[in-house]
Structure 1
Amino acid sequence: MKIILILFCFSLIFVTNSLTGEPIVIEPRQELSIEQLWQQIDMVLELMQLNRTLGDLIASSDQDFSRPLENLTNCYAFEVIDDQNRSTFINIFDKNRQFNDIVKFFYQAFPDNDLTPNSIWSLLSSTQEIIFRCLQMENFPETNPQLKFGFTELSDKDGNYMRRMNGLGSSYYHNRRPSSSSSSTMDDSYRECLRKSRNLPENFDWRDRNVVTPVKNQGSCGSCWAFATAASIESAYLINNRNNSIDLSEQELVSCAKPNGCQGGTSSMAFDFVRRYGLTSEQMMPYRARSSSCRRLPSSVVDIRNYCVRSKLRYSTGSRIENLNDDDIQNALVTFGPLYIGVNADRLSRNYRGGIVDDRSCPKQINHAVVLVGYTPDAWILKNTWGRSWGERGYFRLARRQNICGVNTEIAYPII
């Protein structure tokens, strides 16, 4: 029986049986009870020919991957903690486990995720990746034994979704003419950007001082540049006791700092916008994960006196180019606070759940903005905007000293 799967809007799934031509419709999930949802999942998986065991579905697995959980603690993060701090777990290392068990487990753990045929295929792909990653570490223990993998709220997203979140494009960087509003960090005040701490501790983490605002989720929008900018300004205000609590509007940057803000931006355009106009609160202009027109600038709740962009990339014909080493980044972090920083996110797995990423093959061309909050002798500690179920409660670590994923390319920070 040939099955044709077509995805429509409004979180509905149409599955058409080519023999009868009749569509079977899954209703919006909020209208279904758990029992009804389970029945719908069973029906769709049967039509997709995925109502089988993992042993049948996992391709190219020539070894039995069944393992007890106690043998997997070094590589498999089997526990899933949702935004309400509820904990659930499942052992996918069982060749006899039905795939529908995993689908039901996942959408019960992440009830806000859309359930579509494409998301089910992506979830199967993630299940296979987690299993293969752990088998690789078991067979070749010298290959980055510190990493952990498991389900996150991104595990049912496809490659297009992941690429849309990377909002730093190379087309923004080269041969830009300086604008009349270009940052004054290009002139003599650039010295202020180079202030250094007298003593660099061996370990440092701004989270220990309660000046790092909560992890957010940018959704399917290339707005990482706006989130990293807002987060660094939030921390600067908390460090300088300007506010007891603060939550700035990323949407204002997405809508007003440039056209089509979900298609990417840069540190210089974001910080320069805040320098000229200030930035309003999340309450005044909530995040919508989409580009929209900037009809009227709302009243600002913060402003910055200046900003620093230190980068090996040329934003304008008059901009400085700087090759950053680890000491430069450490000094800026300790002196000024959490930093906007660029990385290449192509090798950051949607199923990453912890450990130090030390992938020497990771490209150096940055395409994603995050926030650097700390360091250890071995790793940078970075805050991402992919939700709290991803990584180490929304954070990840990159190995130091090797410019892994281009982390030494660019930093930016406000001067308030």
Structure 2
Amino acid sequence: MRTVALRAAAVGAIACLSLTTPAMALAAPAPQPHEHGLGMRLDHTPKVSSAALPVRPLKAGAAVPDSYDLSSYALSPGDQGQVGSCVAWATMHSGYGILMHEQRISGAPMAPMYIYAQIARGNDQGTNGDVALDMAKAQGVDTAADYWQGPYDYTTQPDASERANAAHYQLSGYTTLPTGSRLTAAVKQSIAQGLPVSVGLPVHNSFMDVDAQTASDYSYMPGDDWSDPVAGGHEMAVIAYNSQGVTLENSWGTSWGNRGYINVSWAFLTTYVDEAFSIGKLVQS
């Protein structure tokens, strides 16, 4: 069984690298092209933006539910192809899809490339959640039906008509969530208020091949594995939680994982997530 490998492998690899000889280092396999795109930059530290909205406390005396599930509002997982646009898909497809159904706003699915093309401008460099969410607050996001450039063109910029349509779908704001041990409470509070969460973390090559069986394993925590190097940073949307962990909606189509979803433990989430954002409601006139 191939398994989900995480940052622990990267840390172990870095520690061991200093002990290898040049000949051993040269023997390492060359990176291989991936079937699926990634795109969450690992060299970025999210900052609390002026666009940020607080995740409001639940009503006085109300306990956070033991479980909460937004999947009934979710769109079918999208497919980013080989483009490094995962952040835009996690926020503008998965996150927006839930919020628009909750708020009964028509037009979904949205066009992740409306945002990512403006960031990449022909250079498929990836991005981060706060960058994309700031743009969605300032501009809105165009609908997939209106955005003629399609889901993979990261060079052609939106035209005036698309920008005008996007302005009807502006985000009210978002909240940068703490990572580490405090992330559990923050995710629960956000999801219980109907607000999806986007999370970014480093993933390893084996993550590309997660199937329905491994996608359902909450308890798995990997050890070091030289044969499974870090593939890059990746962003996904948290759409549900329970006592064991969370359900993530990915953007690699429905043939990956469990029909496009994966369940991970709370330990997985709090140990490996580098950035997390609670996505606020859309502005309604």
Distance 2:141 2:73 in 1: 19
For residues 218-237 of structure 1, the aligned pairs below 5 Å read 218-230=80-92, 231-237=94-100
The structure 2 residue matched to 1:216, chosen from 73, 78, 82, is: 78
| 3-state SS of 2:193 partner | helix
The structure 2 residue matched to 1:160, chosen from 5, 20, 33, is: 33
Please say if 1:205 is aligned against 2:69.
yes
Alpha carbons 1:226, 1:250 under 8 Å: kept: yes
Please say if 1:273 is aligned against 2:135.
yes
| 3-state SS of 1:166 partner | coil
| 3-state SS of 2:209 partner | coil
2:217 matched to which residue of 1?
Answer: 356
Q: CA deviation at 1:370?
A: 0.5
| 3-state SS of 1:348 partner | helix
Please say if 1:252 is aligned against 2:131.
no
AA in 2 matched with 1:329: V
Distance 1:359 1:193 in 2: 29
Distance 2:58 2:231 in 1: 27
Q: CA deviation at 1:394?
A: 0.6
1:400 matched to which residue of 2?
Answer: 266
| 3-state SS of 1:372 partner | strand
Please say if 1:240 is aligned against 2:131.
no
Alpha carbons 2:173, 2:279 under 8 Å: kept: no
AA in 2 matched with 1:273: M
The TM-score normalised by the length of structure 2 is 0.72
AA in 1 matched with 2:68: F
| 3-state SS of 1:173 partner | coil
| 3-state SS of 1:401 partner | helix
Larger Rg: 1
| 3-state SS of 1:263 partner | coil
Please say if 1:369 is aligned against 2:235.
yes
Distance 2:88 2:150 in 1: 11
Distance 1:364 1:404 in 2: 18
Distance 1:246 1:349 in 2: 27
1:327 matched to which residue of 2?
Answer: 185
Alpha carbons 1:271, 1:414 under 8 Å: kept: no
AA in 2 matched with 1:275: K
Q: CA deviation at 1:311?
A: 4.3
Please say if 1:292 is aligned against 2:155.
yes
User: For residues 349 and 257 of structure 1, do their structure 2 counterparts lie closer, same or farther at Cα, with a shift above 3 Å needed?
Assistant: closer
User: For residues 392 and 365 of structure 1, do their structure 2 counterparts lie closer, same or farther at Cα, with a shift above 3 Å needed?
Assistant: closer
| 3-state SS of 1:374 partner | strand
Distance 2:128 2:238 in 1: 16
Q: How many residues align?
A: 239
For residues 44-55 of structure 1, the aligned pairs below 5 Å read none
For residues 89-168 of structure 1, the aligned pairs below 5 Å read 159-162=32-35, 165-168=37-40
User: For residues 265 and 396 of structure 1, do their structure 2 counterparts lie closer, same or farther at Cα, with a shift above 3 Å needed?
Assistant: same
AA in 2 matched with 1:204: Y
Distance 2:69 2:199 in 1: 15
Q: CA deviation at 1:256?
A: 1.7
Q: CA deviation at 1:201?
A: 2.4
Ranges in structure 2 where 5+ consecutive residues have no aligned partner: 4-30
Alpha carbons 1:211, 1:238 under 8 Å: kept: yes
Distance 1:340 1:282 in 2: 20
The TM-score normalised by the length of structure 1 is 0.51
Alpha carbons 1:217, 1:386 under 8 Å: kept: yes
Distance 1:258 1:414 in 2: 24
Alpha carbons 1:342, 1:366 under 8 Å: kept: no
TM-align CA RMSD: 3.1
Q: CA deviation at 1:359?
A: 2.1
Percent identity between matched residues is: 15
Distance 2:145 2:123 in 1: 19
Q: CA deviation at 1:310?
A: 2.1
Q: CA deviation at 1:411?
A: 2.6
Alpha carbons 1:324, 1:409 under 8 Å: kept: no
Q: CA deviation at 1:335?
A: 1.1
Q: CA deviation at 1:283?
A: 1.1
User: For residues 342 and 365 of structure 1, do their structure 2 counterparts lie closer, same or farther at Cα, with a shift above 3 Å needed?
Assistant: farther
Q: CA deviation at 1:270?
A: 0.7
User: For residues 403 and 280 of structure 1, do their structure 2 counterparts lie closer, same or farther at Cα, with a shift above 3 Å needed?
Assistant: closer
Distance 2:178 2:42 in 1: 13
